[in-house]
Amino acid sequence: QVQLVESGGGLVQHGGSLRLSCAASGGTLSRYRIGWFRQAPGKERTTVATISWNGGTTYYVRSVKGRFTISRDNAKNTVSLQMNSLKPEDTAVYYCAAANAGVGHYDYWGQGTQVTVSS
């Protein structure tokens, strides 16, 4: 069973950048579609970006398009989310998750990393 650990969160000023990483153990990430999700206080968890098993297909929620970039390095068993031009509304706990190919839901989740953007 794959285990996911996020890192790279922190406090950054409006307009700043952060790079989140999702590292896997107990399995190889190349089998899975990976998604980044976020949950702000009092709000539901929402999708931020997803990437197919080989990196060939990506998806971004409209609010982060042009600012965030999802990428993966299957050789290193990691997936990253580069976040630029951060806004206060990006403040949330960010989670990575893995889904088996062809399956709609995500089976494996990390514990989350806090991203706080000050105005």
How, if at all, do strands 78-83 and 18-25 pair?
A: antiparallel
The pair of structure tokens assigned to 24 is 């896997």
- Give pLDDT, residue 101: 77
- Give pLDDT, residue 8: 98
Q: What is the pLDDT along the chain (119 residues), one digit of tens a residue?
A: 899 999 999 999 999 999 999 999 988 888 899 999 999 999 999 999 999 999 899 999 999 999 999 999 999 999 999 999 999 999 999 999 999 877 889 999 999 999 999 99
By three-state DSSP, how is residue 29 classified?
helix
- Give pLDDT, residue 1: 84
